[in-house]
A and B are shown apart, each in its own frame.
Chain A
Amino acid sequence: MKSMKLYYTLIIVAVILWSCQMKVNDYKPSDSTPKWTVEGLVSDSTDMHYVKISKVINVTENVPIPTINNAQVIVSGTDGIIDTFKLSSEGIYLPSKLWKGTPGATYNLYVSTPDINIIGSETMPNYANFVIDSLNPVFREKAVQNRVNSPSGPGSYNDLFFTGKKYIRTGDSVFRVRLYALKELPYRVNVFSYLYRNGVLWKPNSRYFINNLQEVPINSFFILPPPGDGPPQFVHFLSGDTVTVLLQGITDRCFAYYAGLNQVLQFDGGLFSSPAGNPINNYNNPNVFGYFKVARIASKKVVVRDLGKQ
């Protein structure tokens, strides 16, 4: 009993010394925090342009992010494109006509509301042969967690693992999609990557996706990780699933922005770590968060077949 008292005394002392804390009820955004978010995309695909405008709310608020629905949105390009986007749904503006961007052309995004006026500017990368050559599901014997033994070889592996139905029970055998993406490119290319399963954006495994990408030769894939933290979650693809890989070829600056965003999510600063900060975007207004992305598009689908052990 005496030792328990001492134990509690030590705990109390430790708490007093190191863990004094209290909730703050009047925490308000500072004046220097961006107040609006503008995401834009212009691509060399006719059906992939949009602008999304919303507000930034207090970090402690728990309300849906308010959208801006009264903005004037204009995209113009050095290739002669000029289009006033129309409000399509809450905060989302789409082109008023069909057009596609031109590699090498520079595009400007003008957004005007009663509160803000912003200009974003970006040049579409002029990557040659921006296509996905093949997308092959490959059965893999080893468990996915064992990254030390990750495969290597010619081309660029994209370690997307999935399991045939009959292996889900044990979970120690997987398939791999071997993605020979852009293997002929002689230079570095920045790619923003999306992975879809049966037409739905496939997210839960994306953290793992990123980690492995650090090991691939072109080391330039990027996708936003899922919310929250913790170990990768493996959602297995089933035989018959359609897997779609969509790549957006982006600029160095754009890659830097999303890489920075990814770091903010993983590594939010703190007293004993480096300060976190908003990544540098391509808007002329410091009150605006988000990025005006101008990208080349490459896409490929594959249907997963249960190949059995190879």
Chain B
Amino acid sequence: MIQIVRMYIVLAFLFLANLLWAQKKYTISGYIKDNKNGEDLIGATIIAVETKQATSTNAYGFFSLTLTEGTYTIKTEYVGYKSIEKKINLTQNITQNFNISEEAILTEEVLVTERKVDANVSELKMSKVEMNMGQLKKLPALFGEPDIIKLVQLQPGVVSAGEGTGAFFVRGGAADQNLILYDEAPVYDPSHVGGLLSAFNSSIVKSSDLYKGGIPANYGGRLSSVLDIRSIDGNNRRPEGGVSIGLLATRANIQGPIGPQLFQNHRKFNDSTGKLEFIERAPAKASFMLSARRSFVGYLFQLQPNTRNNDVYFYDINAKVNYNIDAKNRVFVSGYFGRDVLKFGTAFTFDWGNSTGTVRWNHIFNSKLFSNTTFIVSNYDYSLRLNNIFTWTAGIFEQNIKQDFTYYINPKNTLTFGANIAYRQFQPGDFNILIPGISSINLQRLAAYDNAIYISNKQELSPRISIEYGARLSIFSNVASNKGNTFYKYEDLNVTGNQIVKKEQYDYAANQHIQTFINPEPRLSGRYMLTPSSSVKASYNRMVQNVHQIVSGIVPLPTSFWLPSTQYLKPQIADQVAGGYFKNFRDNMFEFSVEGFYKYMQNTVDFVDNANVFLNPDLPVYIKQGTGQSYGAELFLIKSKGKFTGQIGYTLSWAKRQVEGVNQNREYFSTYDRRHTLNIVATYEISKRWTLGATFTYQTGRPVSLATGKTQIGDIPINVYSDRNGYRLPDFHRLDLSATLKSKVKPRRWWNSELTFSVYNAYNRKNPFTLIIQPKTTDVPNTDGTVAPGDPIVGTQETEVVLIYAFPVLPSVSYTFNF
């Protein structure tokens, strides 16, 4: 700890030294936007050519570059976009926005990756993956529905929970250790149809960044990763939209300017070029985006008279309004509402979903100080109803106000700082029995404030060396719910079962403060440029997590629920160090990186064997916390230019846990342990109209706890289990293929379309979802029809092992229409 304090004192001196270095300087600031639709471009570079001083746009497209007085050639750089050069005579602070256009000539060969040209090498950040949204649409998709989470699962260091699930694990962490943000609002269950699809409609996602390590100080609250998804703002020049029809869902989206531009003619036929071209108009001050998606599989039930009252469907709606009040103020309002419903007549209904809302205000105080104020609400809840028998509801609700500042001190220092105050209400479960005489189970509701302040400075020490250092202070307070809370101290029997003994009782009045956990989270990262095309990077971060998802199995279900840190559930803490070598080849056509990481986790949550976690008021008896560690190496190669593009990621890793009371106190592999993971993603443009896509994934089998032996105690047969997660399922591998056909380009055609054919699991690999041990069944039917294949054999105690797998080979087709 003393060493950390010393380190920060030294860094503070470095920082102050920079502040004192004062000459006559002025600042150029503004936004960089896509000329086609007015969307902010994140991570675009602004360079003063003469001095080679540069900066990048932030998450809102804003930049600020302070230079000494003089005349400069200011150049923009963004892959897939034309560079703009502009002569600037910098004798005062000026505001200059840049609208840059896609490189039309190269669009057939260059994938628009929406990232800085040499970001892999030059950016300070490591362990960060920017999802390629352009590539996503060309890749094979389950049921023809592109899914951002499925792309996340193909990145090095990330593994999926299994076939058809939306859960993912990052560098040995649990699914609940991933902070998933949609327009800055946390999404607590990012899945539809139990994980077949994610909650995010890919057609309106502008950017999606995954941080696996070196996590910036403005993020906090989860141990293992941050997935920051941001939606498009809406075209402020002209209306556009699209409809996509797939086997599982249909989606539609529309966006455009709010104002007279919405109804004006936007295209004209250019006789000289023989093409339909956009009419250049001034952008509107406001724009909107509206998108909706719904599955229609449930309509199959309508065709059958006796299933007409049944239904299964999901839907989600995304909406956003963006208003430029003036040059210094912008307001965004964004909302998401999604729901899944499973209904069997009036007898049984199960529905669950998320809703989020974000109100964001960007304000430029001056050319150096940028402010973002965000108010966020997020809700997740589920409800099961069995008519006249029970209702079961649970959920979590969050309100959060966040203030972020970016202060561009000088070209060598960018300071970010801010704070957030979040209030969460937890409803672990209300199980109301509707039968008279039987008691209901209402787990007490809980509440907590999760507050934080942070500060971080990105500093260029020399042209070769850059560092970013900062810290976050997490202040988490339990407060009693508005009905008050009662907690117990349990006798530590170190055992499950019938022996739950409450020793002491603690009562708290409504809203009474219970306990506060304060945890500092230092963050540090550095980059050293070896050559203009290669660098080494290192990072360290401490993360603290104060909300915990209680999952009975290994796969989060909609019925999983969240709990705050309490005296029984201490905050989880992770320290991660990572280092890597980064190299680009052939004018940034190839990006290569190799990263090593080591993560040590405290208070990781696990459960004693055979724990019964649902609707259990004595959950503290079953929860155990211990330590975990994961380490490994990730190799990543990306080819981002040319007709053939793609990426290969390989991960060698270990993930272990040691929890008192679990696995006889011995260390064990966590369920997130995969020794080898290989992911290959490729697209190939055969012609202007045809594109082929393929993904291949391989993972070492998942460790599970299974009965593998049999013995007798007394004269009772008993199954004997492996160690916790001591058995490996067979390896997982799968090849998916796709072919996309674009519509013909015709001179006067104002629309375009795509027809995508996909084959999921092309070679029909039976990837294990799990193994089950069951009484032996027969393969031979009885001639009298009383015994069918798969029926248990009568009169035997023999058992057999059956592998359950989710999807065989699945062809699908989807059609997308855009205007």
Contact A59 B799 (CB under 8 A): yes
Question: Known: A22-B802, A286-B664. Contact between A269 and B705, CB under 8 A?
Answer: yes
Contact B796 A57 (CB under 8 A): no
Question: Known: A271-B769, A280-B664. Contact between A259 and B498, CB under 8 A?
Answer: yes
What's the least CB distance linking A116 to chain B, in Å? 14
CB closest chain-B residue, reference A219: B498
Contact B707 A256 (CB under 8 A): no
Contact A214 B800 (CB under 8 A): no
Q: Which of B18-26, B63-71, B722-730 contacts A (4 or more CB under 8 A)?
A: B722-730
Is B530 among interface residues, defined by CB-CB distance under 8 A? no
Q: Which residues of A contact B726 (CB under 8 A)?
A: 30-33
CB closest chain-B residue, reference A62: B798
What's the least CB distance linking B403 to chain A, in Å? 41
Contact B552 A272 (CB under 8 A): yes
Q: Which of B144-152, B178-186, B203-211, B607-615 contacts A (4 or more CB under 8 A)?
A: B607-615
Contact A272 B553 (CB under 8 A): yes
Q: How far is the CA of A7 from the CA of B303 in the complex (A)?
A: 9
Give A10-36 interface residues, CB cut-off 8 Å to B.
10, 16-24, 27-35
What's the least CB distance linking A279 to chain B, in Å? 7
Contact A57 B611 (CB under 8 A): no
User: Which interface residue of A3, A6, A29, A62 has the most chain B CB atoms within 10 A?
Assistant: A29
Q: Which residues of B contact A274 (CB under 8 A)?
A: 552-553, 607-613, 622
Contact A256 B805 (CB under 8 A): no
Is B804 among interface residues, defined by CB-CB distance under 8 A? yes
Q: Which residues of A contact B388 (CB under 8 A)?
A: none
Interface 1/0s, chain A 24-56, versus B by CB < 8 A?
A: 100111111111010100000000000000111
Q: Which of A93-101, A124-132, A133-141, A222-230 contacts B (4 or more CB under 8 A)?
A: A222-230
Contact B720 A278 (CB under 8 A): yes
What's the least CB distance linking A184 to chain B, in Å? 20
Contact B799 A21 (CB under 8 A): no
Question: Known: A264-B721, A273-B553, A275-B609. Contact between A21 and B804, CB under 8 A?
Answer: yes
Q: How far is the CA of A146 from the CA of B613 in the complex (A)?
A: 27
Is A209 among interface residues, defined by CB-CB distance under 8 A? no
Identify A227's interface contact among B716, B723, B727, B806, CB under 8 A: B716
Q: How large is the interface on B (under 10, 10 to 19, 20 to 34, 35 or more residues)?
A: 35 or more
What's the least CB distance linking B488 to chain A, in Å? 16
Give B696-727 interface residues, CB cut-off 8 Å to A.
704-714, 716-727
Q: Which residues of A contact B721 (CB under 8 A)?
A: 33, 264, 276-278
Is B509 among interface residues, defined by CB-CB distance under 8 A? no
Q: Which residues of A contact B399 (CB under 8 A)?
A: none
Contact B493 A260 (CB under 8 A): no
Q: Which residues of B contact A18 (CB under 8 A)?
A: 806
Is A166 among interface residues, defined by CB-CB distance under 8 A? no
Is A1 among interface residues, defined by CB-CB distance under 8 A? no
Give B538-554 interface residues, CB cut-off 8 Å to A.
552-554
What's the least CB distance linking A275 to chain B, in Å? 4
Q: Which residues of A contact B304 (CB under 8 A)?
A: 3, 6-7, 10
Contact A6 B300 (CB under 8 A): yes
Interface 1/0s, chain A 46-87, versus B by CB < 8 A?
A: 000000001111111110010000000000000000000000
Is B83 among interface residues, defined by CB-CB distance under 8 A? no
Identify B610's interface contact among A30, A56, A148, A260, CB under 8 A: A260
Q: How far is the CA of A253 from the CA of B552 in the complex (A)?
A: 25
Is B463 among interface residues, defined by CB-CB distance under 8 A? no
User: Which interface residue of B610, B721, B723, B725 has the most chain A CB atoms within 10 A?
Assistant: B610
Question: Known: A271-B555, A274-B613. Contact between A54 and B499, CB under 8 A?
Answer: no
Q: Which residues of B contact A276 (CB under 8 A)?
A: 609-610, 705, 707, 719, 721
Identify B709's interface contact among A33, A39, A219, A272, CB under 8 A: A33
What's the least CB distance linking A113 to chain B, in Å? 16
CB closest chain-B residue, reference A224: B716
Q: How far is the CA of A283 from the CA of B710 in the complex (A)?
A: 19
Is B557 among interface residues, defined by CB-CB distance under 8 A? yes
CB closest chain-B residue, reference A278: B721
Contact B727 A277 (CB under 8 A): no
Question: Known: A62-B798, A213-B498. Contact between A260 and B719, CB under 8 A?
Answer: no
What's the least CB distance linking B245 to chain A, in Å? 18
Q: Which of B255-263, B351-359, B419-427, B770-778 contacts A (4 or more CB under 8 A)?
A: B770-778
Is B807 among interface residues, defined by CB-CB distance under 8 A? yes
Question: Known: A23-B802, A227-B716. Contact between A37 and B769, CB under 8 A?
Answer: no
Q: Which residues of A contact B305 (CB under 8 A)?
A: 3
Q: How far is the CA of A35 from the CA of B806 in the complex (A)?
A: 33
Contact B493 A252 (CB under 8 A): yes
Q: How far is the CA of A34 from the CA of B770 in the complex (A)?
A: 22
Is A173 among interface residues, defined by CB-CB distance under 8 A? no
Contact B705 A59 (CB under 8 A): no
Give A251-310 interface residues, CB cut-off 8 Å to B.
252, 255-256, 259-265, 267-280, 286, 289-290
Q: Which residues of B contact A31 (CB under 8 A)?
A: 726
Q: How far is the CA of A203 from the CA of B704 in the complex (A)?
A: 33
Contact A290 B713 (CB under 8 A): yes
Is B497 among interface residues, defined by CB-CB distance under 8 A? yes
User: Which interface residue of B664, B712, B803, B806 has the most chain A CB atoms within 10 A?
Assistant: B712
Nearest 6 A/B pairs, CB to CB = A277-B609, A259-B497, A256-B495, A32-B726, A32-B723, A275-B705
Told that A62-B796, A267-B612, A270-B553 touch, could you supply 4 new A-B pairs with CB distance under 8 A? A27-B771, A227-B797, A263-B610, A286-B723
- What are 18 A-B pairs with beta-carbon distances under 8 A? A7-B304, A18-B806, A19-B804, A22-B803, A22-B805, A24-B771, A29-B708, A29-B722, A33-B723, A57-B709, A61-B710, A213-B498, A260-B610, A263-B610, A264-B610, A268-B610, A268-B719, A269-B610
Binding site for B on A (CB under 8 A): 3, 6-7, 10, 16-24, 27-35, 37, 39, 54-62, 65, 148, 188, 210, 213-214, 219-220, 222, 224-227, 252, 255-256, 259-265, 267-280, 286, 289-290
Binding site for A on B (CB under 8 A): 300, 303-305, 307, 437, 493-499, 501, 552-555, 557, 607-613, 622, 662-666, 704-714, 716-728, 766, 769-773, 796-808
